[in-house]
Structure 1
């Protein structure tokens, strides 16, 4: 009999390098712990909508951030949730590992890689799927509160932001981090464990 796997829900924004790190760690965990990742879209652009206190450079980034999440939601709506993991990997590898911008050319290349029609890239400039984008975002962020970002992970009745980690733990180190995160996040009344980041994401 096949081992029963626990569903683990992950909300990501393709724009966020830390969400990318967490997602690659969770894929490592999936290899060595009985979990099954379910992918969902959240949006830093939605989260920061109307925030006039953002630095100008971050406001510009949030404006550009609408495109990738809109395309991801359009793909999910037309081809099902199972496409989100592969599409996120195709987008993230190009953006975070190869340093390419999440522009139309990058999005189209990612769509081709996962055998989706390039025309889905047109959703980047359309509000057609914004209601579903906002619903998906709210489903994730409402589990942890408005003062965090992406990624959000939910397993059983436990939800949390993060973990924020670099480099990506591999093998049993990834499993041990998973075990520890579940332990502290599942402790009644536990809210935060944090220290100042002293390095940038290490994508290798």
Structure 2
């Protein structure tokens, strides 16, 4: 049976976007299938951040993702995330870009009526539940993405550009190895470049 890797993302994070593209490569070269879940940087940082327009927009995006998941099934999250990520990150339109959410819904084959979730707190409990399901696996000191597979959970990897082919598989093997090592917590170095979306 193919193992499942649970992947928690916030669509505004460029590093989560890079990791998600790597994970899609991993699926091509390793026996693993990814299940996609929403987490929220707005919620993670809500005690530190001012609840300004940017904070509200971040929350709006994840509300729509959760509404899509609940009303149309988990299988719609990846196409919607991909449509959002291409606009936000690859095209450089940002998460406040005009038409980004509307266009992404259309590309993913989802109804425009999901836009109603953006400014509605109806889905906030579900957003928090999904967010906490991921963050509680790794602790409150990390962000997005979070990946869990076969009893191991970790933040990251934070990498650019996203490795392709067997290079993606080798990184997966190494990350799983250290994540499954009892008592292992962290490898880190200073980032010296921005995400490369090529």
TM-score (norm 2): 0.96
Superposed displacement of residue 60, structure 1: 5.3
**Residue in structure 1 matched with residue 60 of structure 2 by the alignment:** 67
Tell me which of 154, 158, 162 is aligned to 1:164.
158
Q: Give the match's secondary structure for 2:99.
A: helix
CA distance in 2, matches of 1:161, 1:170: 20
2:123: which partner in 1?
129
Secondary structure at 1:189 match in 2: coil
Runs of 4+ in 1 over 4 A off after TM superposition: none
Partner residue, 1:197: 191
* 1:180 alignment counterpart: 174
- Hey, what's the Cα distance between the residues in 1 that align with 2:197 and 2:23? 14
Q: Partner residue of 1:115?
A: 109
Gaps of 5+ in 1: none
Q: Deviations over 1:75-95 (max 9, x none)?
A: 001001111011100100111
| Cα offset, 1:74, TM superposition | 0.5
TM-score by length of 1: 0.93
1:18 positional shift:
0.2
Q: In the alignment, is the contact (CA less than 8 A) between 1:166 and 1:202 conserved in 2?
A: yes
Q: Which moved more, 1:134-143 or 1:121-130?
A: 121-130
Task: Check the 8 A contact 1:48/1:62 in 2, yes or no.
Answer: no
Uncovered stretches (5+) of structure 2, i.e. residues with no partner: none
Query: 1:197: Cα distance to partner?
Result: 0.2
